[in-house]
Amino acid sequence: MKMIIFQSLGGLGLFLFGMKIMSEGLQKVAGNKMRKVLSIVSNNRFVGCGVGALVTSVIQSSSATTVMLVGFVDAGLMSFVQATGVVLGANIGTTVTAQLIAFKITAYALPAIAVGVIMKFFLGRRKWIYVGDVLLGFGLIFFGLATMKEGFAPLKDHPSFVAVFTQFNADDMVSISLCILVGTVMTMILQSSSATIGITMALASQGLLTFEASVALILGDNIGTTITAQLASIGASINARRTARAHAIFNVLGVVLIAAIFPFFLKGVIGFTTGMMDIGPPDLLVNGQKPNIGRYIANAHTGFNFVNAIFFLIFLKYLVKLTCWLVPEKKHAGTIEELRHIKFIDNRYVDTPVVAITQARAEIVRMAEAVQLMYNDVIHSSQHRKLEDLSKWRKREDIIDSLQKEITLFLTNVMQKEVSPEESREIASLMRMANNLERAGDGVENIAELMEEMIEQDLHLSEGGNHDYELIAKRVGDFLNLIVSAISKEDKEIMLHAQQLEDEIDRMREEMRSNYIMRLQSGLCTVDPGLILVDMLTSFEKIGDFCYNIAQAVAGLK
């Protein structure tokens, strides 16, 4: 009995470890390309579903896909409706794991492990290390699965275990519901739908589970897998919570639908597998094992998610409405409080750079919007000249400084992990953006302090000085708007427009300083407010310089 337990749990451990290594390796190999594919999803829900299926089948992580989607939605690159369509596709993509497990390629497990170890530890090049991770994880998955099967083999001759497993017969709605519940709980405990599928296939192949019971367990697996996203969305943004709820609603309602037509669904899976794939019946026994049942279980898993996705794509707008009703928009105490805390970055994804970079970019967009908001408040306060309204900049400056420190620390931790050269360059660019946004905030702070000085001393700009102030403030505001948009859209073509604004702001500063001297000589203005205006012009010009630095980082030049 001890050997059965050790072999079964050891096989499960190898399986889970292999899934983790393979998924991380695939994400690193795919890298930025998968993130870029997601960012160009069209408004066509079926195209979005296809993209979600493609990306998730490549990186083998629906969690990574979901996190990237949340970042895109909050950055304004994708609507919530588009993201929901991609989530439906992500569920289809995750079924690739079950299809791979169903192949009889256990004999290649140890060679794959050997080649993966050689590539990971002896070739040295970063690209080959990632490929080695994929092969090593692939080998461990099948070696772990084979170990589990061997561990479960003696159980089919043990009366007590046979009595337990025969309870899972799935021949009426009560027993179907029991199997679904067990599958849900198993996946919640293991935190891996692939592990539940692997265990189910291993038990079924040994004759301990019928095909009907295996499919019912897999239905529960699809509910249990939503728990991870639910836990991850606690305390997250409204879009993150809505994405997690949509995923749960999609799977729960889908399971209810398939359970209601369970016998017909089984016949469809058997008909497809025997007719289209020319495979023998699921209950065929060879040497005391069922060699075909794994393929039937994998096809049931894929079929469920495919049918479910098609159904909800047709009624997508109702799914979105239901999700928005369940997760309503909450009114915040104020914009300052909303910006105060980190919203997107999550240290749980430090080991997954492609996800971490997406999170950091979304957080930097928030930081840029905070600078933009602070700038607009300060500039517009010159009209009503109220110190209590102007004083808001102090809280906003503290928030910007805090965001810069958190983002930099997060990206530093990511940089210390295994990242590709492309990811390393992108992380450096993101750090440059965060640092220059913080400096732009300091420039706004200087303008605010100069404005406070004018209000306290009851100084007023001349008509010409006020005109110059409004003119350069407008152009710097345009520059801030440009970089906020460019960061969120990853606009690599920003430099032409950025160079024009930078040159124009520099020229305006010199011309306006000359204009002040001319007004002073003509007696059209006084010295004190004029000197403050000159200092403001310097701060405006510096903000423009910081915006230009950010534009270079967005374009990938620095």
User: What does CATH list as the number for 346-555?
Assistant: 1.20.58.220
Nearest to 449 by CA among 394, 513, 494, 377: 394
Look at the block and give the residue holding tokens 């299809």: 99
* Backbone dihedral angles phi then psi of residue 330, each to the nearest 5 degrees: -100, 140
Beta bridge partners of 286: 289
Global confidence as pTM:
0.68
Reported as type and span, the H/E element at residue 476 is: helix 463-489
The count of other CB atoms within 10 Å of the CB of residue 81 is 15
Tally of CB atoms within 10 A around 269:
22
Residues of the chain with CATH 1.20.58.220: 346-555
Count of Cβ atoms closer than 10 Å to residue 4 Cβ: 16
**CA distance between the termini of the chain:** 62
Instruction: Outline where 122-172 has alpha helix (H).
Output: 126-152, 159-165
Q: Evaluate whether 378 touches 447 at the Cβ level (below 8 Å).
A: yes
Residue 168, SS3?
coil
Ranges assigned E (strand) in 485-532:
none
Among 207, 202, 205, 200, which Cα is nearest to 157's? 207
Query: From first to last of its 558 residues, what are the pLDDT tens digits of the chain?
Result: 677 778 878 888 888 788 778 877 777 776 666 666 766 666 677 888 888 888 777 766 666 676 666 656 655 556 777 778 888 888 888 888 788 877 777 778 889 899 999 988 887 777 788 888 888 988 888 888 788 877 776 765 666 655 666 566 778 888 899 889 988 988 888 777 777 888 888 888 888 888 999 999 999 988 887 776 677 666 666 766 787 788 888 889 999 999 999 999 999 999 988 887 778 888 877 777 888 888 899 999 999 999 988 888 888 888 888 888 888 876 544 444 455 567 778 776 787 777 788 888 888 988 898 899 889 888 877 666 665 655 666 777 788 888 889 999 999 998 888 777 788 888 999 999 999 999 999 998 898 888 888 877 877 777 787 888 889 999 999 999 999 999 888 888 899 999 999 999 999 999 988 887 887 767 666 777 778 888 888 999 999 999 999 999 998 887
Residue 153 DSSP code: G
CA distance 446 to 224: 54
- The angle at the Cα of 320, spanning 317 to 325, to the nearest 5 degrees, equals 125
